[in-house]
Each structure stands twice: as structure tokens, then as C-alpha cells.
């Protein structure tokens, strides 16, 4: 498979399921999308922490580098350095931010970054589709590897402006195309 067909930003297909982060790194931190929910492994995660899809509410946010970049940014300076050639390539990681219910809490899951560069557009489109699925009550569909592969394939060719409206439209089109198995 080509990069765009098997990955979207930090999300990639590994051994038949989708993983956020560098799953090939020995002892690395990653978040796996499984049928029963998000499975977190590594650094900040409780051993094999599982977050059921039903607990996730209010969408997602992805950040690279620090836990809380300023002004709603995606990258912290260390997040930028980890994607550039040189001694920092592939270092550091990112966070998947979400709000959980029962009990209500803000929650972060850490993942190690890949040595490749993540296009900002890929991160934004990934976040848009994940947030739309939460709003539609369909976030559990991310646990279906085949369905997610169709969404990723559709979003990986999106090359529009990264406005909120364009991202929302691209996410909606990717979900509709995946449902109809058009991509």
C-alpha cells in the first residue's frame, strides 16, 4: 500500500487495525482503534488502558509536542522538530484529547510520533472526521478496520483549503463514501 492509502497523519494501518502513533517503536506509546474502544499502550497509559467508544463525547483534538499548545494550535515547537530532518527526527509524540462521560473528565492519551512528517491538513481532516463521528453517535465505527480504511483513503486525497467548512464537508463526504463502499 502507498503511504496515503495506509496512513493519515499519525494514524496508520498496522496488522489489520488502525493505530495512532509509531507502533513499530520498541516499547513505544500508541493508541489502537479496536472494536470495543481505544486501547492505549505505553508511556502515560495505564497498562492496556481501554476506553469504550460509548464513553467518548464532545469530539477529539490532536496535538503534537506538548500537552497543551497555546491558542488551540496543533504543534508545539517540539512537535515541529520531531518531523524535520536532523537529530530530533521522530522524537517526541502527540496527544489525543477527549472528554469522557461516566464520570465526566478530560482525558489525554499519549502516542509516539513517526519519523515522517505529518501534514497539518491530514491531522485536521482526521480530527474533523473523528469529531463528526462523535457528534453523530457513530464513533464506534472507527473500530471497524475496513470502514476506517475507506475513510482514510478518501481523506488522504483531500487537498482543499483547511477551513472549518471545507474540513467538515470533506469529513462528511468521506463517511458517506465509506458507507457506500465507493472508495
pLDDT digit string (tens) for 43-75? 655 567 899 999 999 888 888 876 665 555 565
Give the CA distances from residue 170 to residues 51, 68, 111, in Å, rounded to whole numbers and listed in that order: 27, 26, 25
Residue 22, classed as helix, strand or coil, is coil
Q: What pLDDT sits at residue 1?
A: 35
- Stretch among 62-71, 78-87, 132-141, 143-152 having the lowest mean pLDDT: 78-87
Q: What pLDDT sits at residue 60?
A: 86
What rounded mean pLDDT belongs to the chain?
Answer: 80
The helix/strand count (H/E) of the chain reads as: 5, 9
Confidence of residue 146 (pLDDT cuts 50, 70, 90): very high
% of the chain at pLDDT higher than 90: 31
Examine the pLDDT at 2 and tell me if it is beyond 70. no
Confidence of residue 11 (pLDDT cuts 50, 70, 90): very high
Distance CA 65, CA 77 (A): 7
Q: What pLDDT sits at residue 116?
A: 83
Average pLDDT over residues 19-36: 91
Q: Which one of 57-61, 120-124, 157-161 scores highest in mean pLDDT? A: 57-61
Examine the pLDDT at 183 and tell me if it is beyond 80. no
Examine the pLDDT at 30 and tell me if it is beyond 80. yes
Which of residues 14 and 62 earns the better pLDDT score?
14
Q: What pLDDT sits at residue 4?
A: 44
Average pLDDT over residues 124-131: 87
Q: Which one of 82-86, 115-119, 132-136, 175-179 scores highest in mean pLDDT? A: 132-136
For 112, residues 6+ apart whose C-beta sits below 8 A from its C-beta are: 21, 22, 25, 28, 29, 30, 42, 43, 92, 93
Amino acid at each position: 500500500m502507498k503511504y496515503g492509502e495506509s496512513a493519515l497523519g499519525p494514524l496508520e494501518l498496522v496488522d489489520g487495525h488502525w493505530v495512532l502513533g509509531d507502533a513499530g517503536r520498541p516499547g513505544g506509546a500508541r493508541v489502537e482503534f479496536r472494536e470495543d474502544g481505544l486501547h492505549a499502550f505505553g508511556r502515560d497509559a495505564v497498562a492496556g488502558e481501554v476506553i469504550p467508544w460509548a464513553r467518548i463525547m464532545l469530539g477529539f483534538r490532536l496535538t503534537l509536542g506538548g500537552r497543551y499548545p497555546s491558542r488551540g494550535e496543533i504543534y508545539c515547537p517540539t512537535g515541529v522538530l520531531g518531523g524535520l530532518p536532523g537529530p530530533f527526527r521522530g522524537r517526541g509524540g502527540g496527544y489525543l484529547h477527549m472528554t469522557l462521560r461516566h464520570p465526566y473528565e478530560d482525558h489525554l492519551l499519549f502516542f509516539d510520533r513517526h519519523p515522517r512528517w505529518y501534514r497539518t491538513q491530514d491531522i485536521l481532516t482526521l480530527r474533523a472526521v473523528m469529531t463528526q463521528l462523535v457528534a453523530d453517535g457513530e464513533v464506534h465505527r472507527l473500530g471497524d478496520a475496513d470502514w476506517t480504511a475507506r475513510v482514510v483513503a478518501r481523506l488522504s486525497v483531500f487537498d482543499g483549503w483547511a477551513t472549518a467548512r471545507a474540513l467538515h464537508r470533506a469529513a462528511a463526504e468521506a463517511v458517506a463514501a465509506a458507507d457506500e463502499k465507493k472508495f
